[in-house]
Amino acid sequence: MDQRDRMRAADSDREAVVERLRTALNEGRLELHEFDERAAEAYRAKTYADLDRLLTDLPGVAPASRSQLAPVPPPAAAAPERGTVPRWLATIWGAWAAAVGINVVIWLLVSISNADLAYFWPMWVAGPWGVILVVATIGGLSSGEPQRWADKQARRRDRRRRRDR
């Protein structure tokens, strides 16, 4: 064991190792659960030897000009899968619709029993929340949020499937 191995690692060293692990994950060299385990170990590491141990079975990062691997073309902007946008919209607007529906039913029951339909107070639930959701919907649609949401849901399903095996 040399002197460097016994030296204490800094936060920036831990971050560099986690970034290398993230690169290995993106290259397909690590599975998600392996990345999670190693990243947790990296953040707990005290010495350089602890950090080096996490990378021993991974090749070094070679510049693209010296790489023997065929370069991967950058991914084209993927069109959302069919049904992704409606599912995303249903998810973000579903709670709003349920809450407004419940409030309207309560308003109707109370107003009919009092014979007074004049003041529609559910607007104070529907209006502000609805405005926020309209802004979030427009922003999300323009930034590709439905596809990121669908990818996240797929990763969750995969993790559950792996865990349930």
What are the pLDDT digits (tens) for 19-73?
999 988 888 889 999 999 999 999 999 998 999 999 988 887 655 555 555 555 5
Same structural domain, 32 and 97: no
In a domain, 68, yes or no: no
Same structural domain, 36 and 91: no
Whose CA is closest to 121, among 134, 110, 132? 110
In a domain, 152, yes or no: yes
In a domain, 102, yes or no: yes
SS3 47: strand
Full 3-state SS string of 27-44: HCCCCHHHHHHHHHHHHH
Q: Are 84 and 144 in contact (CB under 8 A)?
A: no
Confidence of residue 164 (pLDDT cuts 50, 70, 90): confident
DSSP state of 162: H
Q: Could you give the number of structural domains in the chain?
A: 2
Mean pLDDT computed over 91-96: 94
Q: What is the pLDDT of residue 66?
A: 53
Confidence of residue 115 (pLDDT cuts 50, 70, 90): confident
Number of residues written out for the chain: 165
Same structural domain, 117 and 48: no
In a domain, 60, yes or no: no
Tokens of 87: 């599912």
Same structural domain, 98 and 158: yes
Confidence of residue 129 (pLDDT cuts 50, 70, 90): very high
What gap in Å lies between CA 118 and CA 110, rounded to an integer?
A: 12
In a domain, 67, yes or no: no
Rounded to a whole number of angstroms, the distance between the first and last alpha carbons of the chain is: 41
In a domain, 91, yes or no: yes
Same structural domain, 90 and 33: no
Q: What is the pLDDT of residue 4?
A: 82
Supply the range of the domain harboring residue 45: 3-53
Which residues, in sequence order, are CB contacts of 47 under 8 Å at separation 6+?
Answer: 5, 6, 7, 8, 9
Same structural domain, 88 and 160: yes
% of the chain with per-residue pLDDT over 90: 51
In a domain, 94, yes or no: yes
In a domain, 59, yes or no: no
Same structural domain, 100 and 157: yes
- The answer on pLDDT for 3 being more than 90 is no
